[in-house]
Structure 1
Amino acid sequence: MSEMQFSNNYRDLSDSQGVDAGFQFEFYCERCSDRWRTHFKPYRSAQASGWLQKGASMFGGMLGNASSVLSGMAQAGWHSARDEAFTEAIAAGKAHFNRCGNCHDYVCATCFDGQNGLCYNCAPNVNVKISQARAQGEVSAASEIANDEGKVRGARRDVTQAMQLVCPQCRAETHGAKFCPECGFKMAQQVSCISCPTLLQPGTRFCTECGTRQS
């Protein structure tokens, strides 16, 4: 058989043995990954062998020899039959996929600019790019405004207040809440010493580190 030229955008679904033996190939677009699959082509020799094997198991091995002979013949002819089926599949697949003139990927009709002979990765659709750029600009502008708003809100937060982020009773995350969302345990909101960075329990009159009286 003559040599075959093919790309790697396919998956071989063929089965060489059993009652379901046959040939089938699945091709995919290298841009969007949409699939196209050939019709299943039975491999009759292997199927017949599979049925004989089932019969041999039912009738106590009486058909075992015939099954072994037929199985050997089927396996011997498998590669040439598979190559023939693959050649047919490649020819059929070319009707569903186009080769990009720049990157040489095989893409489906939806992803191919037939006028330029290029896929849309190499020759993007102008209207799509305009819409994409407009959306990116909108997100960028909104992000800047949201960032400024976040700075305003952050300036109003008390960042000196220490918080228990894990409940000491049930170990649930509290996210700084005054009460545990799981068991209701009251969190001890520590405060900083007015003179040093030491964290103190509420109601502490003197700093345990520097001795400063807390007002």
Structure 2
Amino acid sequence: MLATLSRVSALVPFTDNVRDLSNQQGYQFEFRCERCGNGHRSAFRRDTVETGRKVLRAAGHVLGGFTQRVSRTVDQWQYDRTSNSPAKDRALAEAVERARQEFRQCRGCGDWMCAAMCWNDEIGQCLRCAPVVAEEVARAQAAAQRDQIRERAQQADWTADVDMSARAVVACPSCGSKVDGGRFCSACGSALAPRVRCGGCGSEANRIGALFCMDCGQKLP
């Protein structure tokens, strides 16, 4: 965010929704809508001082002597390009004047909104403070429809044909293929819930791979 310029006495807009894209070659600024994020980027404005410094440096390398000393002096000249540059102040002021055409400041919330997408011309406020009635009705209808769909889906019986007494199997215990239910594997035909019967007590609750019966402890075949 960019602070209010120290060299401009008038109130500066867009101080909380502008991004400084300036570099050593010149100045550029990007303004964004505080609702949708769309924005406007100013044209790049080259810094004439920096251009002059480049010329002097180039001349110093070629001519040497006095010109080279001047070039070194220019290179040593330090100034704050963030907020203490008159050239940058002018560049920002011009960018702000052009951006005014694309944005409106809402008197309700104080935010800057793009005129194309987020501004209610009829009311004179942003769409957050003064939404368009038809759009609000459409959103409310869609939300109610979603709620009613969920409610009706919960009322329907989706488990009538599901065997809840058998443990669900997602992979075939024989071949390891992924399965979507049923009693037999569609890849190898093996039973998805094979039973290992104990020869001692007759229990069929033992899992494949078990060595001893979980009910009587007898060794399984």
After TM superposition, the score normalised by the length of structure 1 is 0.69
- Looking at structure 1, the residues matched to 59 and 215 of structure 2 have their Cα atoms a distance apart, in angstroms, of 89
Matches within 5 A, 1:1-215: 1-3=7-9, 4-6=11-13, 7-15=15-23, 17=24, 21-50=25-54, 53=57, 65-73=69-77, 75=79, 79-109=85-115, 110-149=117-156, 152-165=157-170, 174=178, 179=185, 189=193, 199-201=205-207, 208-209=214-215
- Looking at structure 1, the residues matched to 37 and 80 of structure 2 have their Cα atoms a distance apart, in angstroms, of 35
- Looking at structure 2, the residues matched to 54 and 147 of structure 1 have their Cα atoms a distance apart, in angstroms, of 78
- Looking at structure 2, the residues matched to 199 and 98 of structure 1 have their Cα atoms a distance apart, in angstroms, of 73
Give the stretch that moved more between structures: 120-129 or 134-143. 134-143
| Contact 1:46–1:74, Cα closer than 8 Å, also in 2 | no
- Looking at structure 2, the residues matched to 185 and 48 of structure 1 have their Cα atoms a distance apart, in angstroms, of 83
Question: Alpha-carbon deviations, 1:114-138, whole Å to 9, x = none?
Answer: 3422100011100101111222222
CA deviation after TM superposition for structure 1 residue 113, in Å: 1.9
Paired letter, 2:128: N
SS of the counterpart of 2:101? coil
CA deviation after TM superposition for structure 1 residue 79, in Å: 1.7
CA deviation after TM superposition for structure 1 residue 73, in Å: 4.6
In the alignment, structure 1 segments of 5+ residues that lack a partner are none
Paired letter, 1:201: R
| Contact 2:32–2:40, Cα closer than 8 Å, also in 1 | yes
User: Aligned pair in 2 of structure 1 residues 173, 70: CA closer, same or farther (>3 Å)?
Assistant: farther
In the alignment, structure 2 segments of 5+ residues that lack a partner are 1-6, 198-203
CA RMSD of aligned residues (A): 4.1
Paired letter, 1:26: E
CA deviation after TM superposition for structure 1 residue 11, in Å: 0.5
Give the percent of matched residue pairs that are identical in Structure 1 and Structure 2: 26
User: Aligned pair in 2 of structure 1 residues 72, 207: CA closer, same or farther (>3 Å)?
Assistant: same
- Looking at structure 1, the residues matched to 30 and 22 of structure 2 have their Cα atoms a distance apart, in angstroms, of 10
User: Aligned pair in 2 of structure 1 residues 66, 200: CA closer, same or farther (>3 Å)?
Assistant: farther
Paired letter, 2:193: Q
Paired letter, 2:31: F
Paired letter, 2:26: G
| Contact 1:190–1:199, Cα closer than 8 Å, also in 2 | no
| Contact 2:185–2:192, Cα closer than 8 Å, also in 1 | no
- Looking at structure 2, the residues matched to 122 and 142 of structure 1 have their Cα atoms a distance apart, in angstroms, of 30
Question: Alpha-carbon deviations, 1:130-158, whole Å to 9, x = none?
Answer: 11122222222222222333xx2213211
Q: Higher helix fraction: Structure 1 or Structure 2? A: 1
After TM superposition, the score normalised by the length of structure 2 is 0.68
- Looking at structure 2, the residues matched to 44 and 111 of structure 1 have their Cα atoms a distance apart, in angstroms, of 37
